Amino acid sequence: MASTVASPQPPLAKILLRRLLIAVFLVLVLLIPAIIMLAATGLITGRVEPAATFAAIPALAGLAAVAVGGWDLGLRTAIVLACLGPLTIVAGASPVSGAALMALMCLMVGLMSRWGLHRAGLMVPVMVSWTLITPPVWGSATVVDRTDLTYLVWMAAIFFVGGIFPVLLCPFFLRRLHLPAAKPHPRREAIVYTIMIVVLTTASTYYVLDHPKMFGGAFLVATILVLAPIGEASVVGPTVIRVIATAAGSVLVLAIVTEARSLTAVYFLGLIFGVAAVVAKFSPRAWIYYVLMVPTTACLNAFALPQVAQLGEQRVVDNLVGGVLVLAASGLAIGYAHWEARRGNSTTQEQVIAGESVEPKVVSVA
């Protein structure tokens, strides 16, 4: 019998350098659209609008879409983001309309889980929850006019440029990076997952819109969507680890914004945390990624939120509440799964792929 010899692993320094270069490139993908829109607002309106930095938010969603579903999914995501940018601003004027729009977005995320594309899809409601709950200020006004036509058109442009930039750039530079194919989920798992995120995010969105002092309520929606499990719901351990990791990241945010003296410094700290988070994403210690992504998203909103100094405290509370809600929902999902198993109605992944579901999509960024 021929013996198999494991290929030698590259040196750790080389691995870390490669991850660092990828992380720096991805952060530039987030930063450049914001710079473009800052320059555009300055040239056209005569005033550099801090709201243009929101271009980094759809860029994150576009980047996730390209990584999971290729450039075609990224293109569709950019178009959807351009439409949802102004739509969420208007819908957020009422708790009912805002919660209804969030429910529709999460229903679509649940549908995408059938093809394993939900990890990209959930980035859309995560990112637009900011414009839904706390849209950035525009001009010299201290209160956002959610029906201002000029403002809405500019936000549509900001979201489109941010979303389309990684679609145009990443497939070219990441063509040699082989990403895993999307993993489809059976119908029962998708239904449980959809019910979980729709109920929790809809109720949370309504509550924070009905309580304007919770300007950081987008963190609560993001916590629920990021932590909500699908598939192996009986394994609560990973969810608990993610909850603890995001709680640690929230404490880090509290420490940063409490001592912040310059919004520019806070913003660039967000970029540094983003680089470190991407490096951690490629490592076997996923909990580090969750710790670092919390200050990344908080700090990148520094210019657009006048209440940034209070984000730390709200982030801690939102994370704890969101984590408890997800753990409670996971417990209900476990009970449902066991009940289905006792009834003999459980469906294996192989059965789904063979008959109930379509063939999984092979993902490529070539």
Token pair of 174, please?
Answer: 């990441």
Amino acid occupying residue 128: V
CB 177 within 8 A of CB 365: yes
CB 303 within 8 A of CB 252: no
Max Cα-Cα span within the chain: 77
pLDDT of residue 319: 61
Q: Name every residue whose Cβ is closer than 8 Å to that of residue 279 and which is 6 or more positions away in sequence.
A: 16, 19, 20, 23
Rounded to whole angstroms, the Cα distance separating 245 from 285 reads 11
CB 112 within 8 A of CB 121: yes
Rounded to whole angstroms, the Cα distance separating 347 from 51 reads 47
CB 337 within 8 A of CB 84: no
Token pair of 201, please?
Answer: 């995010």
CB 266 within 8 A of CB 308: yes
CB 292 within 8 A of CB 273: yes
In terms of Cα–Cα distance, which of 233, 225, 227, 230 is closest to 205? 225
Distance of CA 310 to the CA centre of its chain: 21
Rounded to whole angstroms, the Cα distance separating 16 from 18 reads 5
Amino acid occupying residue 25: F
pLDDT of residue 89: 96
In terms of Cα–Cα distance, which of 254, 306, 301 is closest to 126? 301
Give SS3 for 184: coil
Distance of CA 93 to the CA centre of its chain: 23
Tens-binned pLDDT, residue by residue, of the chain (366 aa): 454 554 556 676 776 677 777 777 777 777 899 999 999 999 999 889 988 988 988 988 888 888 888 888 999 999 999 999 999 999 999 999 999 999 999 999 999 999 988 888 998 998 899 899 989 888 887 788 999 999 999 999 999 999 999 888 877 766 666 666 778 888 888 888 999 899 999 999 999 999 887 767 787 888 888 878 887 544 566 667 767 776 677 666 666 665 655 666 777 777 777 767 766 665 666 677 777 776 776 676 655 555 555 555 555 666 667 767 777 777 777 676 667 667 765 444 444 443 444 444 444 433
DSSP class of residue 114? G
In terms of Cα–Cα distance, which of 325, 265, 322 is closest to 299? 265
Amino acid occupying residue 313: E
Neighbours of 177 (CB within 10 A): 12
Rounded to whole angstroms, the Cα distance separating 52 from 316 reads 27
